């Protein structure tokens, strides 16, 4: 989105407010008789977050009716045991992370993809989080400014703004490689919003330990990988420096498209075949937004297309199937590291 200007602080002072009260906040000049108040004086406890060029203030013990607009932020909240303080989720590419099914079942799903702004306001949110700038931007659910006008604080995953230029037409360009430290920072931020800092630290330690277990003793320095997220006709392949870049670096391997900083460039199959990667990491998506979403459909295409079926990885069926969320900058990226590491060991391609 280009250079960002720091926004004004957005205090969280209304645990629950009706849609009508939110509209009143947006139209201060007209006045709104009988609008409900904050229910008492604000708490003296205030936590401040510096988030993607904005200052967000969280008062009291944090949100009680949070809405997560992307699966990544949803799974962090659920992993922190915050399901009881969530009023809705949206935009799913995969089934919820294993172990979170029961918690997730108790949180209303507002939409499979982007809900309308009105749908979000209907659940009276007191905090809104999203994984992608496009979700909280023009053409998305609503802008951060729109929520701020209604007194609703917003949070954007740092992985989609730090070291990333979203000003173009695609999925953005990385100006510096993404690291797990940014994902860990998001976990700590969300935990702090809800006053659950100890849980946040425990989750970070667990993720770090999983990466250590998955990569210890693995030498993949001679292995080339390709990451295919979606679409068979104009495939989205991973560039150098997003979540797949984290996986690649943790394993010590090489991405055959390390020469592009685009997050998800669309690359023709002739170019893919020419790069001839050793292993294909394939997103197994359940959504139906584009062609070639499920791993089964992707493999069917690879083994039947005259260009792709000549690739070594296809001939030897060296496929690693991962969730779409594993290819996004989320806590599920750790899952991707584990699965790709296991696949390299299984294929015997790593030392």
Domains of the chain, first to last: 7-29+41-206 (3.40.50.1980), 219-347 (3.40.50.1980)
Q: What is the pLDDT along the chain (351 residues), one digit of tens a residue?
A: 332 222 233 333 333 344 434 443 433 333 333 333 333 444 458 899 999 999 998 988 899 999 999 999 999 999 999 999 999 999 998 999 999 999 999 999 999 889 999 999 999 999 999 999 999 999 999 999 999 999 999 999 999 999 999 988 889 999 999 999 999 999 999 999 999 999 999 999 999 999 999 999 999 999 999 999 999 999 999 999 999 999 999 999 999 999 999 999 999 999 999 999 999 999 998 866 555 589 999 999 999 999 999 999 999 999 999 999 999 999 999 999 999 999 999 999 987
**Residue 63 dihedral angles phi and psi, to the nearest 5°:** -60, 150
pTM: predicted TM-score of the whole model, two decimal places: 0.86
Q: Vertex 340, ends 338 and 346: CA angle to 5°?
A: 105
**Cα gap 195→185, rounded to integer Å:** 15
Q: What is the CA radius of gyration of the chain?
A: 21
């Amino acid at each position: 989105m280009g250079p960002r200007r720091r926004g004004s602080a957005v205090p969280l002072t209304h645990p629950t407010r009706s849609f009508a009260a939110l509209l009143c906040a947006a139209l201060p000049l007209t006045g709104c008789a009988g609008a409900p108040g904050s229910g008492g004086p604000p708490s003296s406890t205030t936590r401040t977050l510096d988030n993607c060029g904005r200052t967000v203030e969280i008062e009291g013990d944090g949100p009680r009716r949070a809405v997560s607009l992307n699966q990544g932020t949803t799974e962090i909240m659920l992993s922190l045991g915050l399901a009881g303080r969530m009023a809705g989720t949206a935009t799913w590419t995969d089934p919820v992370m294993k172990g979170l099914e029961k918690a997730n079942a108790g949180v209303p799903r507002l939409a499979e993809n982007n809900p309308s702004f009105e749908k979000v306001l209907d659940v009276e949110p007191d905090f809104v989080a999203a994984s992608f700038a496009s979700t909280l931007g023009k053409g998305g659910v609503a802008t951060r400014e729109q929520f701020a006008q209604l007194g609703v604080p917003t949070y954007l995953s740092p992985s989609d703004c730090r070291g990333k230029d979203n000003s173009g037409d695609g999925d953005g360009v990385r100006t510096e490689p993404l690291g797990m430290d940014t994902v860990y920072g998001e976990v700590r931020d969300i935990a702090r919003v809800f006053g659950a800092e100890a849980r946040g630290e425990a989750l970070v330690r667990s993720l770090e330990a999983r990466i250590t277990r998955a990569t210890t003793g693995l030498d993949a320095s001679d292995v080339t990988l390709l990451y295919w997220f979606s679409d068979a006709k104009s495939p989205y392949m991973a560039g150098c420096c997003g979540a797949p870049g984290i996986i690649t670096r943790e394993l010590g391997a090489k991405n055959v498209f390390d020469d592009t900083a685009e997050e998800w460039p669309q690359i023709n199959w002739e170019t893919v075949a020419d790069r001839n990667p050793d292993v294909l990491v394939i997103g197994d998506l359940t959504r139906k937004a584009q062609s070639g979403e499920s791993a089964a459909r992707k493999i069917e295409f690879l083994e039947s297309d005259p260009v792709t079926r000549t690739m070594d990885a296809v001939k030897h069926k060296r496929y690693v199937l991962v969730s779409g969320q594993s290819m996004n900058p989320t806590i599920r990226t750790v899952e991707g590291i584990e699965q790709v590491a296991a696949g390299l060991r299984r294929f015997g391609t790593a030392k």
